[in-house]
Amino acid sequence: MTTPFPFTAVVGQDDLRLALLLNAVSPAVGGVLVRGEKGTAKSTAVRALSALLPEVAVVPGCRFSCDPASPDPTCPDGPHEAGSGGERPARMVELPVGASEDRLVGALDIERALAEGVKAFEPGLLADAHRGILYVDEVNLLHDHLVDLLLDAAAMGASYVEREGVSVRHAARFLLVGTMNPEEGELRPQLLDRFGLTVEVAASREPEQRVEVVRRRLAYDDDPAAFAARWAEEEAAVRQRIVAARRLLPQVRLGDGALRQIAATCAAFEVDGMRADIVMARTATALAAWAGRTEVLAEDVRQAALLALPHRRRRNPFDAPGLDEDKLDETLEEYSGEGDGEGDDDPGPDGPGGGGGQPAPDSGPGADGGSAAQPEAGEDGQPQASGAREQSAVRAAEPFRAKVLSVPGIGEGAAGRRSRARTEHGRTTGARRPRGTLTKLHLAATVQAAAPHQRARGRSGPGLVIRRDDLRQAAREGREGNLVLFVVDASGSMAARQRMSAVKGAVLSLLLDAYQRRDKVGLVTFRGSAADVALPPTSSVDAAAARLESLPTGGRTPLAAGLLKAHEVLRVERLRDPARRALVVLVTDGRATGGPEPVAHAGRAARLFAAEGIASVVVDCESGPVRLGLAGQLAGELGGTAVTLDELRADSIAGLVRNVQGTSRRAA
């Protein structure tokens, strides 16, 4: 067995270690989501925690880890009689990103159930994790339906598997830990709220601390057993402290004064629902037990807020995480009560959790436009302030609810909410022979396939003989996520500040729509003499929003270069993810002035998209009393359609519901 890196040897990361320990003391806190850049000891700390958990008593031979003192009466391996049992170390079970639903919840053998009347159930990862840790690395990359199943089991403490009238239930109480890199995409707010605590981790910028990280890691890699032995005393002390805190937890008193502070804090930060209040109460109670106290103090409430509220106050995926600590202290001071400690008590950076919390978010990227490149000469025949100088970045207008743009045909890409697709989940549209393991039985089609063969199988009376060849898989249709590639004109023809603000607001609205529909997004911009990939295709729409905000404008309009760059991005992405269909959203007024024969070259580039059946839409940004209609002509060359900025709004009277026209070479 591999020797884990000692938990107490992790350098820094006080908030992360505290959040994990609080969940070890009180699993009712609801788990922890660890957000941070790669290489910040997220996985190391989680794996190290499992070695600290006390051993668990189990019923011998039970695949569901029933407690011999109070066995689960509905255990599929039961019934068990209460009594003595053996002990084993607490498990840490890892859920891989590519896991199937059957791997997570378990597999019920429908073939044996129908043919032999046997209810054969193979436990999944939820059963393995019972009374231990379930660790989900890159939780933001899991399919939504798996995350829903995971969090439902964590909330109910049980897993249910129901297929064709056959059901199995087993206990599934575990410490849920998820890690994610925000650059690879965000979790939906509804799913963020289901994690009890969240912490933001980042690599230290202190040279001495970084040196110590490297020193300890090298020593561990050279001789893991010897390194772990040097930390054995500290590990034993923390393990004993966890056991003591668990015993003390039922005696901790959460007074009315602390409850008022919790309620006032949640109201002050305008969090939705009551889950935040409950999680804060449980966290504050666990903090008191961890400190060896039987009464919750104001310092516990403050630390609980810093761990439980940052991810719940986000209103959209572009809000920066964090909590205004000055506002928090003012709220606690206002509602401080006698016997609850001082409202402004701060455990300090050297206490457990290191003072917690992240700094208040700044004004966001691109506020000052960043450093601008050298200006291009020439401006589509339009004058520019200060000669040919480019303009700095313009802030985006307020986003709005955008119309739904979808790819035609039926795909088979990743689960999402945009375009029609053949999926494992959705409405049943027909039946087919199963390819591999049967997952969703189409009962009527199975009976229909078996019925003509009953006499040959010796069946003359009631009943039905079903064989493997008769089984039919349900064909289902749902929605998929697409690759939405934004191609944005940032040239001088679009550089009027008011108009560019509206354009950015429109793209930001489409980005919000892409976030809600679980798309990947990419951003290509063109201006001056070339086009740039501002953001390669990614699941992180907030990264796209940040690049958009800092986008400078000015110069000529190399439309052909922008289209060719987008075509190349799609070609490469198709090799990486051939099942994910693309939707190109070209934001331009249709002008083309960069390079030789700009109009002709732009037309030829656009026809490449039409020839390959790539779905596209042109957002026409032309304004003014005289309009040339160039964007509409460009949409015709692309084989797509054009919408104006006004028509892009879902509530626009002028805008009718428009889906992208054209065909996709991968559409059915």
CB contact at 8 A, 197 and 279: yes
From 260, 275, 293, 574, active-site residue: 275
Q: Which pairs from 620-626 meet CB under 8 Å and 24+ separation?
A: 620/588, 620/589, 620/590, 620/644, 620/645, 621/489, 621/494, 621/499, 621/502, 621/503, 621/506, 621/587, 621/588, 621/589, 621/645, 622/589, 622/590, 623/499, 623/589
Look up residue 387 and give its DSSP letter. Answer: T
Give the side-chain half-sphere CA count within 13 A for 317. Answer: 29
- Of the candidates 243, 325, 253, 314, the one whose C-alpha atom is nearest the C-alpha of residue 288 is 253
Residue 35's nearest CA partner among 269, 204, 197, 277 is: 197
User: For residue 644, what are the contacts with CB-CB under 8 A and spacing of at least 6?
Assistant: 619, 620, 655
Q: Token pair of 29, please? A: 């806190």
Phi, psi of 208 (to 5 degrees): -65, -40
β-bridge partners, 479: 420
DSSP 114: H
As a whole number of angstroms, the distance between CA 129 and CA 157 comes to 11
DSSP count for the chain of H helices, then E strands: 20, 20
* Two tokens, residue 131: 């009374």
- Rounded-to-integer distance, Cα 639 and Cα 632, Å: 11
User: Which spans in 163-274 are helix H?
Assistant: 189-192, 207-222, 224-230, 232-248, 256-268
Helix (H, G, I), strand (E, B) or coil at 437: coil
- Verify whether residue 591 is a known catalytic residue: no
- How buried is 463 (Cβ within 10 angstroms: 0-12 exposed, 13-18 middle, 19+ buried)? exposed
The alpha carbon of residue 204 and the mean position of all alpha carbons in its chain are separated, in whole angstroms, by: 25
Q: How far apart are CA 464 and CA 450, in angstroms?
A: 8
User: Can the peptide bond before residue 79 be classed as cis, meaning omega within 30 degrees of 0?
Assistant: yes
**Residue 395: strand, helix, or coil:** coil
Closest residue by Cα to residue 641 from 663, 667, 662, 613: 662
Going by C-alpha positions, the residue among 351, 619, 356 that lies closest to residue 503 is 619
Could you tell me the two tokens for 71? 């066995």
Nearest to 276 by CA among 157, 156, 147, 189: 189
Cα–Cα distances in angstroms (integers) from residue 5 to residues 46, 51, 206, 218, 229, in the given order? 10, 9, 22, 11, 11
Going by C-alpha positions, the residue among 262, 271, 253 that lies closest to residue 336 is: 262
Backbone angles phi, psi at 602, to 5 degrees: -65, -40
How far are the Cα atoms of 7, 51, 57, 61, 79 from residue 86, in angstroms, in the given order?
26, 18, 6, 10, 17
What DSSP string runs through 213-234? HHHHHHHHHH-HHHHHHHTHHH
DSSP structure string for 533-573: EEEEEES-HHHHHHHHHT--B-S---HHHHHHHHHHHHHHH
- Active site residues per annotation: 275
